[in-house]
RNA sequence: GGGCCGUUAGCUCAGCUGGUUAGAGCGCAUGCUUGAUAAGCAUGAGGUCCCUGGUUCGAUCCCAGGAUGGCCCA
């Protein structure tokens, strides 16, 4: 030691912060190793086992579709799920989370076919195609699983549920058996997209829109004598031309043979126009475009609303039957006549209207597009060739009002590029009103909690307007509907006994068996056709709608054992799932188990770009979840997920993340401050709460209040509120408490009671804080937890071994008030123009009861206000303000070289530049050093 | 076109049942600190609460219409 006492800077005698926890997060680099660490340590499984005797709390995973990369919408949803699961785990619940994947269905089948370079799925052996599809789906599952785990998500990722598993396929078929037993299934007609060239049904996704020139024809549906009288009556008209007709417009004349109705809009105004010697009904809004150059000649005789026209009949132009006027809300007033030609066999809307009004569903067209005998004179003609003949005939009969060519965008088959048509085909349905299913589902929703609350009305409305649920698809990649076709009478049979046999068989061999087994493998003993008594059958080749498959995940995953009770406590998905999974799960739950399969439905919003616009791959604004994590790290993105109000639509983009990153850095640095100041705190040094210094006890109370608040917010899924509370808390802790502790922590002797008290409080705050933020920031809290000495951590290897306090500590409002008062006083000191912190002395005079509160803090009050000297006076009498005097002045004495407080120095001749407190500490340290 | 939801400081969001100088954090500006230092502290400037009407003594908050964005459906 060559320095003279006068030169010595004493820095080495301070207890400066020290920690291995780095300031720089390097999340993208560090996080993957942490995922592996959790895996190796089986952190999640161990915590679950630890909670084994406590109540279960199950979040049931809605399965993502195993196709394509996960985007930020997935990230938000999956991270939120994980946040709730972690909250439950830390709360001691048995929060088993079984992630799942939706793996059948057309998108994967199409992608696989594309991959194989095959255009027609009939051209490949179904079993071969299924094998390839499965391979493809498993590939995506693996990729998505990797990304989900990379997010820091806890769950049984080694045993996810998968809709392609044999056991899952068996569940699906058993569900069908249940429904069959309850007579909830039937086979009926439905308008589906059809390619007459390929002779196959098509799905929405197999359609490409291409420009097409079609005949645009306006056709008179004339009223006969009686019909005319009623019609005039509705228009409140006595006199009118003899010939009265309703004018329709169509670009598909070949569908006219199947016409059974004309749809009008209830709230639209229709006019009866006289043109030459006839009267014509069209929507007023479209009259000028319909009459075109003859508009001036058309005279409006009377008006009526669509509603007033409801139920009238007119004559079909050539089929020799009537066509009734019905109401439909899809009728638009921008093209055509406002009176829409309705052929339930040839259109989706038309079909719904047909079902609603009980109209006949005519389908006079065979699979190849040839008119059947039902089409009368047109039988044997190809529908597209018949167009011209029909128009000619209409012209000849005088029914044609106007015709011209019309170019529009029209759906074409993606394979052969021929125009597609709608054609009624036989499909399997779940009967919505059988067993009052619809109403019971609506009632079941009543008992479910919804966040946001309007979700209930939304879901109930979906059910209210729900058409019959068509569950059959004519494709290969899916679970077969185990229906039989009687060779004797051609009847379709879906028998529960057959379905049970199929379920058992699929449970062993997977659903492929349906393609490879002989039909006899599925026949119960003595099975005969219920219609004709026949004994010879074929297997039907329909698969089940994937919405039905995902709709039974609750049956496949829950209720199998105590760990996973049915129903689940929570489901959480995007708002599109009101129509999707929330709905399908509810319907199967009610139909099969008689109740909703979940207790609470939470909806998360959509992730839009920074301008609030929808992200899209095509515009290049879609962001891949993995890319985002590689760039910013999962924890920053998770913090983003907490920082937005996830119930509403949220925004995501680089600038948004830049802001969140700053908040993240704040949190990280404050955690680092706590860690770096307890580095030398041994387990035996920790002081019991009741023996802490008053300021430290107060801080612990503030921590308890914080934890209580955050836990309360977590319990109501108010993640965003919790985020705000976390940010507010750590900034308050930092501003007041950390600043106050620096001097005692740094300048007291290492084992000084004041210092150990401060450290003990910091350790308490750190534990509580890390537990509280762990659901949102698992990587960072775990990293911090690992930076705590093993001695302090004790048995709790992971931050996920810690828990929210079982009992909420009672926090007195007086304490929180006192804390706030200290913050205010501290701010006043800090804002002082006279000098900085330890250059200052403060004279305070306050009235009761504040005086007593402040007085009880002792020297901690001076520490909290970060001044060198402080005097506290008791103001007596009635004062409007509790603080009567607040005098900041320059402190007397000089700046102690070691602790920087202004004091009288030199009491110890060996250390002339030190205050007496510091001199004592240094003497002891020096003595200890020499003793070595 | 229909149903539902949103629109409050540059950003993310609070503002409960109508009366507040409309708030917080981040960012920004200024100052301090340099023993949390690619950190910390303090202060300050930012808002016609989407627009237009209406109800009311009084509206960011209620009602109607519109604009705009989103989801679902057509």
Q: Render pLDDT for A22-41 as a digit per residue (tens, 0 to 9).
A: 999 999 999 999 999 999 99
pLDDT of residue A486 exceeding 50, the answer is yes
Please, are residues A453 and A214 in contact by the beta-carbon 8 Å criterion?
no
Distance CA A752, CA A404 (A): 99
Q: According to the model, what pLDDT value does residue A422 have?
A: 87
Q: According to the model, what pLDDT value does residue A529 have?
A: 95
Higher pLDDT, A212 or A663: A663
Beta-sheet strands, E only, within A772-925: 840-847, 869-875, 883-890, 894-895, 902-903
Distance CA A174, CA A481 (A): 11
A727 touches strand B (CB under 7 A): yes
Q: According to the model, what pLDDT value does residue A655 have?
A: 84
Alpha-carbon distances, residue A197 vs A137, A201, A370, A410 (angstroms): 30, 11, 11, 16
Q: According to the model, what pLDDT value does residue A1 have?
A: 46
Per-residue pLDDT tens digits for A67-118: 989 999 999 999 999 999 999 999 999 999 999 999 999 889 989 998 999 8
Distance CA A889, CA A843 (A): 8
Measure, in angstroms, how far nucleotide B45 C1' is from residue A19 CA.
38
Average pLDDT over residues A360-373: 89
Q: According to the model, what pLDDT value does residue A204 have?
A: 66
pLDDT of residue A384 exceeding 60, the answer is yes
If residue A725 lies in a helix (H) or strand (E), which one and from where to where?
Answer: helix A719-732
A739 touches strand B (CB under 7 A): yes
pLDDT of residue A832 exceeding 50, the answer is yes
A831 touches strand B (CB under 7 A): yes
Please, are residues A663 and A777 in contact by the beta-carbon 8 Å criterion?
no
pLDDT level of residue A414 (50, 70, 90 thresholds): confident
Q: According to the model, what pLDDT value does residue A3 have?
A: 61
Percent of chain A with pLDDT over 90: 63
Choose among A572, A451, A808: nearest CA to A83: A572
pLDDT level of residue A411 (50, 70, 90 thresholds): confident
Average pLDDT over residues A688-697: 96
Report which residue is nearest nucleotide B7 when distances run from CA to C1'. Answer: A612
A900 touches strand B (CB under 7 A): yes
The full DSSP string for A354-382 is HHHHT------B-TTSBB-GGGGGGTTSB
Q: According to the model, what pLDDT value does residue A704 have?
A: 93
A746 touches strand B (CB under 7 A): yes
Average pLDDT over residues A686-706: 95
Per-residue pLDDT tens digits for A542-557: 999 999 999 999 999 9
Distance CA A706, CA A725 (A): 8
Q: According to the model, what pLDDT value does residue A871 have?
A: 94
Alpha-carbon distances, residue A241 vs A228, A245, A278, A385 (angstroms): 10, 10, 5, 36
Burial level of A430, CB count in 10 A (0-12/13-18/19+)? buried
pLDDT level of residue A676 (50, 70, 90 thresholds): very high
* Secondary structure string (H, E, C) spanning A87-139: HHHHCCCECCCCCEEECCCHHHHHHHHHHHCCCCHHHCCHHHHHHHHHHHHHH
Higher pLDDT, A328 or A489: A489
A679 touches strand B (CB under 7 A): no
Measure, in angstroms, how far nucleotide B49 C1' is from residue A822 CA.
33
Choose among A570, A762, A466: nearest CA to A77: A570
The chain-wide mean pLDDT, for chain A, equals 91
pLDDT level of residue A2 (50, 70, 90 thresholds): low
A342 touches strand B (CB under 7 A): no
With a threshold of 0.90, tell me whether the complex ipTM lies above it.
yes
Q: According to the model, what pLDDT value does residue A905 have?
A: 92
Average pLDDT over residues A730-748: 92
Higher pLDDT, A857 or A413: A857
Q: According to the model, what pLDDT value does residue A617 have?
A: 56
Please, are residues A306 and A270 in contact by the beta-carbon 8 Å criterion?
yes
Distance CA A788, CA A356 (A): 68
Percent of chain A with pLDDT over 70: 98
pLDDT of residue A262 exceeding 50, the answer is yes
Measure, in angstroms, how far nucleotide B72 C1' is from residue A820 CA.
48
A670 touches strand B (CB under 7 A): yes
Alpha-carbon distances, residue A269 vs A248, A272, A281, A304, A330 (angstroms): 15, 10, 10, 6, 15
A410 touches strand B (CB under 7 A): no
pLDDT level of residue A216 (50, 70, 90 thresholds): confident
Nucleotide nearest to A866 (CA to C1'): B41
Chain B footprint positions (protein CB, under 7 Å): 1-6, 10-14, 24-27, 32-33, 35-43, 69-74
A743 touches strand B (CB under 7 A): yes
Alpha-carbon distances, residue A93 vs A118, A284, A800 (angstroms): 50, 65, 12
pLDDT of residue A326 exceeding 60, the answer is yes
Per-residue pLDDT tens digits for A778-824: 999 999 999 999 999 999 999 999 999 987 777 888 888 899 889 88
SS3 A66: coil
Measure, in angstroms, how far nucleotide B15 C1' is from residue A83 CA.
26
A621 touches strand B (CB under 7 A): no
Average pLDDT over residues A426-440: 92
Alpha-carbon distances, residue A601 vs A60, A160, A580, A581 (angstroms): 11, 22, 13, 11
Nucleotide nearest to A608 (CA to C1'): B70
Name the least confident of A168-172, A188-192, A709-713: A188-192
pLDDT level of residue A851 (50, 70, 90 thresholds): very high
Kindly report the pTM of this predicted structure: 0.90
Per-residue pLDDT tens digits for A267-287: 788 889 988 889 999 988 888
Nucleotide nearest to A612 (CA to C1'): B69
| Max avg pLDDT among A372-376, A630-634, A835-839 | A630-634
CA dihedral A196, A198, A199, A200 (to 10 degrees): -110
């Amino acid at each position: 030691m060559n320095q003279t006492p006068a030169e010595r800077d004493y820095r080495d005698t301070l207890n400066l912060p020290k920690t291995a926890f780095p300031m720089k997060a390097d999340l993208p680099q560090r996080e993957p190793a942490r995922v592996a660490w959790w895996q190796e340590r089986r952190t999640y499984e161990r915590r679950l086992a630890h909670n084994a005797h406590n109540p279960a709390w199950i979040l049931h995973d809605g399965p993502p579709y195993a196709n394509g990369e996960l985007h930020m919408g997935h990230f938000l949803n999956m991270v939120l799920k994980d946040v709730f699961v972690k909250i439950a785990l830390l709360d001691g619940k048995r929060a088993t989370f079984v992630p799942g994947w939706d793996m059948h269905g057309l998108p994967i089948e199409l992608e696989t076919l594309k991959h194989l370079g095959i255009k027609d799925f009939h051209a490949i052996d179904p079993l071969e195609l299924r094998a390839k599809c499965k391979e493809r789906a498993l590939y995506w599952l693996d990729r998505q699983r990797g990304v989900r785990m990379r997010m820091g998500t806890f769950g049984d990722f080694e045993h996810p549920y998968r809709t392609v598993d044999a056991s899952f396929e068996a569940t699906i078929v058993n569900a069908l058996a249940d429904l069959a037993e309850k007579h909830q299934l039937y086979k009926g007609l439905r308008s589906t997209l059809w390619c007459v060239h390929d002779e196959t049904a098509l799905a929405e996704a197999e359609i490409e829109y291409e420009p097409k020139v079609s005949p645009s024809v306006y056709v008179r549906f004339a009223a006969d004598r009686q019909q005319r009288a009623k019609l005039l009556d509705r228009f409140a008209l006595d006199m009118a031309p003899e010939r009265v007709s309703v004018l329709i417009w169509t670009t598909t004349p070949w569908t006219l043979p199947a016409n059974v109705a004309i749809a009008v809009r209830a709230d639209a105004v229709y006019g009866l126009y006289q043109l030459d010697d006839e009267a014509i009904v069209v929507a007023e809004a479209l009259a000028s475009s319909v009459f075109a150059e003859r508009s001036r000649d058309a005279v409006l005789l009377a008006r009526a609303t669509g509603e007033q026209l409801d139920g009238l009949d007119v004559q079909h132009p050539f089929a020799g039957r009537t066509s009734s006027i019905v109401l439909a809300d899809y009728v638009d007033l921008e093209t055509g006549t406002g009176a829409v030609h309705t052929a339930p066999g040839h259109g989706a809307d038309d079909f719904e209207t047909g079902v609603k009004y009980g109209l006949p569903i005519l389908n006079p067209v065979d699979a190849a597009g040839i008119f059947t005998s039902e089409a009368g004179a047109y039988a044997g003609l190809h529908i597209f060739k018949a167009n011209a003949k029909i128009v000619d005939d209409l012209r000849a009969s005088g029914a044609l009002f106007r015709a011209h060519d019309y170019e529009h965008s029209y759906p074409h088959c993606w394979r052969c590029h021929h125009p597609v048509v709608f054609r009624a085909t036989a499909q399997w349905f779940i009967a919505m009103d059988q067993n009052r299913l619809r109403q019971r589902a609506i009632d079941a929703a009543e008992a479910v909690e919804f966040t946001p609350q309007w979700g209930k009305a939304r879901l109930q409305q979906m059910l209210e307007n729900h058409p019959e649920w068509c569950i059959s698809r004519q494709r290969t990649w899916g679970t077969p509907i185990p229906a039989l076709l009687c060779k004797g009478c051609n009847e379709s049979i879906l028998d529960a006994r057959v379905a049970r046999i199929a379920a058992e068989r699929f449970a062993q061999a997977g659903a492929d068996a349906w393609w490879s087994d002989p039909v006899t493998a599925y026949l119960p003993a003595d099975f005969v056709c219920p219609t004709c008594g026949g004994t010879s059958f074929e297997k039907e080749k329909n698969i089940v709608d994937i919405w039905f498959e995902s709709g039974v995940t609750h049956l496949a995953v829950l209720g199998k054992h105590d760990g996973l009770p049915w129903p689940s406590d929570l489901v959480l998905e995007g708002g599109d799932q009101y129509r999707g999974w929330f709905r399908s799960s509810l319907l199967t739950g009610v139909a099969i188990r008689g109740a909703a399969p979940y207790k609470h439905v939470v909806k998360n919003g959509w992730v839009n770009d920074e301008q609030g616009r929808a992200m899209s791959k095509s515009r290049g604004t879609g962001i891949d979840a993995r890319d985002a994590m590689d760039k910013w790290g999962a924890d920053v993105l998770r913090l983003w997920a907490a920082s937005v109000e996830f119930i509403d639509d949220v925004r995501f983009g680089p600038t948004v993340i830049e802001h969140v990153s700053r908040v993240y850095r704040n949190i990280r640095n404050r955690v680092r401050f706590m860690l770096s100041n307890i580095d030398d705190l041994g387990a035996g040094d920790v002081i019991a709460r009741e023996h802490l210094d008053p300021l430290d006890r107060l801080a612990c109370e503030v921590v308890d209040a914080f934890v209580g608040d955050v836990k309360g917010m977590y319990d109501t899924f108010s993640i965003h509120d919790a985020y705000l509370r976390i940010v507010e808390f750590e900034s308050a802790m930092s501003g007041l408490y950390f600043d106050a502790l620096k001097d005692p922590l740094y300048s007291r002797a290492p084992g000084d009671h004041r210092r150990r008290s401060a450290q003990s409080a910091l350790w308490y705050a750190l534990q509580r804080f890390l537990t509280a933020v762990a659901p949102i920031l698992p990587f960072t809290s775990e990293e911090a937890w690992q930076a705590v000495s093993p001695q302090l951590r004790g048995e709790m290897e992971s931050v996920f071994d810690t828990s929210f306090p079982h009992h909420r500590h009672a926090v007195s409002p007086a304490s929180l008030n006192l804390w706030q008062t200290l913050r205010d006083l501290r701010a006043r000191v800090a804002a002082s123009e006279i000098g900085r912190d330890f250059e200052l002395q403060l004279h305070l005079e306050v009235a009761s009861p504040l005086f007593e509160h402040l007085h009880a803090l002792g020297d901690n009050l001076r520490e909290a206000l970060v001044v060198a000297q402080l005097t506290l006076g008791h103001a007596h009498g009635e004062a409007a303000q509790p603080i009567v005097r607040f005098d900041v002045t320059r402190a007397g004495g000089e700046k102690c070289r070691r602790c920087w407080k202004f004091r009288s120095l030199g009491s110890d001749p060996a250390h002339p530049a030190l205050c007496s407190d510091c001199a004592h500490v240094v003497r002891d340290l020096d003595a200890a050093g020499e003793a070595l």
